[in-house]
């Protein structure tokens, strides 16, 4: 199996490698530049571990000035740059290129400011997602988005991919919890978008940056919203004889106007793997399991639990259990958050997908995945953020068996096509990267993609930032056409030009 097709290496850059490394060492002295092959091995892949590629050189800056100077140097010399956080990307977004500088932001790992009065925290991009909660939990606060990799993934990477998590149904994705960023453009300019205030004035450039996958700039500081922990939080385990019944239960809960802190769904294979791994007390005689968390004032939580129980019973629930205390609530979630490594214990390899569908399409998509599983002869364990329709099918395969990786990838592509067919989208929180890049045409037409490339051109005219990601074919900015000028005036004169 070959790696995804990436931009052709620039021969002249490869020939200038020694000079480039020497120049970068003057910008980031000490141990900030890694150029030995054996040391760069640690950076040759990311969470999409099927592909590996050594970078031209690894740079680990410690200051904003160093980031600015590195990017300016690369722009001046026509050198590509791949930004990288903790390397937990599951779409190949941080895969290196052999002719590109890998700009690793892990040394930006400080919490800079905590403002409890304004309920904000200012952190560097290398701070882990869970690290933000650890910094504020002593005062009864937390950071809401909580991807399964929260112990390792960085907040800078969360911004790049617009990460979510099990509690994003009620509290939103990264874009709903980030108030401001400081970022460095490819020309070295340092700009600020947003801040501690709830709504930034003018155009929503902050929203544009969140989920931009390292294509537009490098984030060096993030201002996030922190929340007070709810008075009460209790989790329910609800088991069903079929995934279709569980999916219908989810739809009715939301239809009744109940917005839980989270609703997660696991199928039989994922339930057994997680229970064997964590011993969370999951039932093993059901085909689908919902974890429903209700939070808020105690009286409200008690009322909502009763409502959800009634809805579950109407949909044929085989069992229902409510956490007795905080320790049991955490145990319920521990099984779900360990689902990915748990599946890794029952299969030599697995391929984690990410797509999002309308909730009402869940039974149709589940049936479609069963047909695809039979077609490819590969098992699939399903783990869903059921409340917002974000699916994470885990396709089980053995990379040591010829052709199985290719079959797993084809299986995954068919799942994503199915998501789009039912009115969904290619990604919910993992991003496009290289994994879904060549599927972009199933969701966007040529005009849509051209408009997105024009945004890329406005920030990075030479296409130096994270090339080969997101766009199936990246056209030169000069080919994208010019704005029509009428009587010497550009249209929409109020729109700022880059």
Render pLDDT for 434-448 as a digit per residue (tens, 0 to 9): 999 999 999 999 999
* pLDDT over threshold 50, residue 199: yes
Distance between CA atoms of residues 121 and 96, nearest Å = 31
The mean pLDDT value for 429-433 works out to 94
pLDDT tens-digit readout, 128-149: 999 999 999 999 999 999 998 9
Give pLDDT, residue 498. Answer: 30
Task: Enumerate the domain spans of the chain.
Answer: 11-104, 111-228, 232-340, 347-435, 441-498
Domain over 232-340 is classified CATH 3.30.70.2190: yes
Q: Which of 9-13, 20-24, 398-402 has the lowest mean pLDDT?
A: 9-13
Give pLDDT, residue 473. Answer: 82
* pLDDT over threshold 60, residue 204: yes
3-state SS, residue 104: strand
Residue among 195, 261, 212 nearest 232 (CA): 261
Give pLDDT, residue 421. Answer: 97
* pLDDT over threshold 90, residue 244: no
Give pLDDT, residue 182. Answer: 98
> Between these two residues, 480 and 128, which has the higher pLDDT value?
128
Give me Rg for the CA atoms of the chain: 23
Task: Tell me the pLDDT band of 3, cut-offs 50, 70 and 90.
Answer: low
* pLDDT over threshold 60, residue 497: no
Residues written for the chain: 498
Domain range 111-228, its CATH number among 3.40.250.10, 3.20.20.10, 3.30.465.10, 3.30.43.10 = 3.30.465.10
The fold of 11-104 is 3.30.43
Give pLDDT, residue 50. Answer: 81
Helix spans in 30-77 (H) = 37-40, 64-77
Nearest-5° Cα angle at 335, 332 to 338: 145
Task: Tell me the pLDDT band of 495, cut-offs 50, 70 and 90.
Answer: very low
pLDDT tens-digit readout, 83-123: 999 999 999 999 999 999 999 999 999 999 999 999 999 99
447, containing H or E segment: helix 446-459
Distance between CA atoms of residues 147 and 284, nearest Å = 25
Distance between CA atoms of residues 414 and 355, nearest Å = 11
The DSSP symbol for 119 reads T
* pLDDT over threshold 90, residue 483: no
Distance between CA atoms of residues 67 and 124, nearest Å = 13
The whole-chain average pLDDT of the chain stands at: 92
* Percent share of the chain, pLDDT over 90: 84
Pairing of strands 100-104, 57-59: parallel
* pLDDT over threshold 80, residue 210: yes
The mean pLDDT value for 44-52 works out to 86
Pairing of strands 262-267, 227-228: unpaired
The DSSP symbol for 437 reads G
pLDDT tens-digit readout, 352-382: 999 999 988 988 898 999 999 999 999 999 9
Give pLDDT, residue 469. Answer: 95
Give pLDDT, residue 488. Answer: 38
Domain range 347-435, its CATH number among 3.50.50.60, 3.20.20.70, 3.10.580.10, 3.30.70.2740 = 3.30.70.2740
CATH fold match for the domains 11-104 and 232-340: no
Question: 328 with 293: CB under 8 angstroms?
Answer: no
The DSSP symbol for 284 reads S
């Amino acid at each position: 199996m070959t790696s995804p097709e990436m931009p052709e290496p620039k021969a002249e850059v490869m020939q200038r490698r020694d000079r480039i490394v020497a120049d970068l060492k003057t910008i980031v002295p000490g141990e900030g530049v890694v150029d030995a092959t054996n040391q760069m091995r640690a950076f040759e892949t990311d969470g999409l571990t099927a592909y590996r590629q050594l970078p031209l050189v690894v740079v680990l800056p410690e200051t904003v000035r160093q980031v600015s100077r590195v990017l300016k140097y690369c722009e001046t010399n026509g050198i590509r740059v791949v930004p990288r956080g903790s390397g937990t990307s599951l779409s190949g977004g941080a895969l290196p290129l052999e002719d590109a500088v890998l700009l690793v932001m892990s040394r930006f790992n400080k919490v800079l400011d905590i403002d409890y009065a304004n309920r904000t925290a200012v952190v560097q991009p290398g701070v882990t997602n869970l690290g933000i909660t650890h910094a504020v939990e002593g005062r009864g606060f937390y950071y809401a988005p909580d991807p399964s990799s929260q112990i390792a993934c960085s907040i800078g990477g969360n911004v790049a991919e617009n990460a979510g998590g099990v509690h994003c149904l009620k509290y939103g994705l990264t874009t709903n919890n980030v108030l401001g960023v400081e970022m460095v453009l490819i020309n070295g300019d340092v700009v600020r978008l947003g801040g501690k205030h709830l709504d930034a004035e003018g155009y929503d450039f902050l929203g544009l940056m969140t989920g931009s996958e390292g294509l537009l700039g490098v984030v060096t500081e993030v201002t996030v919203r922190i929340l007070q922990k709810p008075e009460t939080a209790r989790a329910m385990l609800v088991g069903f004889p079929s995934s279709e019944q569980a999916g219908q239960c989810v739809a009715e809960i939301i239809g009744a106007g109940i917005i839980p802190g989270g609703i997660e769904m696991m199928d039989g294979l994922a339930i057994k793997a997680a229970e064997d791994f964590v011993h969370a007390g999951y039932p093993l005689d059901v085909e689908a399991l919902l974890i429903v968390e209700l939070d808020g004032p105690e009286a409200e939580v008690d009322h909502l639990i009763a409502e959800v129980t009634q809805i579950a019973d109407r949909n044929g629930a085989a069992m229902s259990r409510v956490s007795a205390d905080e320790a049991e609530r955490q145990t319920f979630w521990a099984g779900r958050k360990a689902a990915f490594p748990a599946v890794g214990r029952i299969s030599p390899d697995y391929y984690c997908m990410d797509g999002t569908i309308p909730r009402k399409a869940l039974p149709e998509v589940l049936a479609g995945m069963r047909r695809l599983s039979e077609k490819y002869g590969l098992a699939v364990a399903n783990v869903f953020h059921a409340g917002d329709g974000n699916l994470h099918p885990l396709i089980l395969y053995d990379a040591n068996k010829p052709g199985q990786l290719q079959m797993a990838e084809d299986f995954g592509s068919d799942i994503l096509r199915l998501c789009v067919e039912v009115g969904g989208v290619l990604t919910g929180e993992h991003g496009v990267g290289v994994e879904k890049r060549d599927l972009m045409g199933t969701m966007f037409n040529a005009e849509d993609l051209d408009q997105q490339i024009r945004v890329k051109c406005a920030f990075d005219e030479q296409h130096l930032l994270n090339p080969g990601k997101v766009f199936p074919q990246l056209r030169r900015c000069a080919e994208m056409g010019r704005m029509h000028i009428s009587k010497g005036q550009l249209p929409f004169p109020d729109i700022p030009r880059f």
